[in-house]
Structure 1
């Protein structure tokens, strides 16, 4: 792959704005389309007896921000991202949304560098492990609902969320902690209250599922 293309794929808009360079938003747009097509075809072939609704639910989980952030962390993308000063200060390299966007941008870059077949093959290498172990990877469609239902099945009280935030209004970071008394606790961060709660719910769900 052209080193310049790879660099662009790893460049967040905050860095691009500060340094007057291209960022990864266009590549992210392209990669999102390649990702959706490859995952849809994979699910269609792998689950020939499932309904459209069931396949759509699986796809939503596999292409979600939570799932793609898991992929990014497995690839250790965080330290390689080019971020603006504000994102560096607020832990941008660990934010699920930024990590997920970078994965999509890399897929887009692969499409431009090697064509659709190679890009879709890359998608399968990255995504299929999520399909095989959804609880540990985060590839679940609605972590908050899944956690609530799992807690009920385990006889625990409903999950309780506590959210704090820090930073300026334009770059606020939210931290959520969810407890499932007396079984588990999870935490997560995000650029919105909702995103932080979803990340925390996934963390707690993973811990509960692992203890089953």
Structure 2
């Protein structure tokens, strides 16, 4: 198992996050999966816990300013989409966080997990917490605004959850509720991959994979809804 100081390119990570850390162990821990260290305390889970809350606060702040006349329900839908695991993983990929993650299980196993959406999302939240703990709320805010601003402004209307959208489509046509089933569950406990299939009466089903059942269901629903509304 690696120690917290091993295999960590501080300068490269600071360039990705645009912040020079006073406490380098914070960002090293934020990028360390529990499979790479002997102690859970040296991995990112605790920082992930805080980063989730910091991100939600900062996105809520941005939404309140950007949409001063929108109701709470609409703001909640926007917030949910902007802090989702899918969004976090996309931003982690965009800034190149995957290659900087410290993962156990050998070189091959680690390489396979560097694009795992769940791991990327968790590490992204942990990195936001590391920015907050090292530099304060304004440092975290600067990072979040830089990477979320365009995404926040992109949707003219509050996004609709794809599972709700698929259900509404089916019910409007007198069809039964969409049915979801687990096709397979693979991978180690710390990095599972679920394959989910969703079907609507009389239509071809769609499948998707995700690091949680919830994520896979959302992606499968989104895929089927796209097919049905073409």
Q: What TM bracket, shorter-length normalisation? A: 0.7 to 0.9
Instruction: Determine helix, strand or coil for the equivalent of 1:164.
Output: strand
Corresponding position of 1:49: 69
Does residue 122 of the first structure (1) align with residue 116 of the second (2)? no
Corresponding position of 2:15: none
- Alpha carbons 2:119, 2:191 under 8 Å: kept: no
Q: Shift of the alpha carbon at 1:125?
A: 1.6
TM-score, structure 1 length as denominator?
A: 0.74
Alignment coverage as a number of residue pairs: 205
Distance 2:93 2:172 in 1: 30
Does residue 144 of the first structure (1) align with residue 170 of the second (2)? no
- Alpha carbons 1:189, 1:200 under 8 Å: kept: no
Q: CA RMSD in A?
A: 3.8
Corresponding position of 1:92: 113
User: Structure 2 matches for 1:148-167, cutoff 5 A?
Assistant: 148-149=167-168, 163-167=183-187
- The unaligned stretches of length 5 or more in structure 2 are 1-19
Per the alignment, do residues 99 and 153 of structure 1 end up closer, same or farther by CA in structure 2, a change over 3 Å counting?
farther
Q: Shift of the alpha carbon at 1:105?
A: 0.9
Higher helix proportion: 1
Q: Shift of the alpha carbon at 1:5?
A: 2.7
- Alpha carbons 2:193, 2:209 under 8 Å: kept: no
Which of 6-15 and 126-135 deviates more?
126-135
Instruction: Determine helix, strand or coil for the equivalent of 1:94.
Output: coil
Instruction: Determine helix, strand or coil for the equivalent of 2:81.
Output: helix
Q: For 1:131, which of 137, 152, 163 is the aligned residue?
A: 152
Q: For 1:105, which of 98, 113, 126 is the aligned residue?
A: 126
Distance 2:215 2:139 in 1: 32
Higher gyration radius (CA): 2
Distance 1:147 1:160 in 2: 11
Corresponding position of 2:53: 33
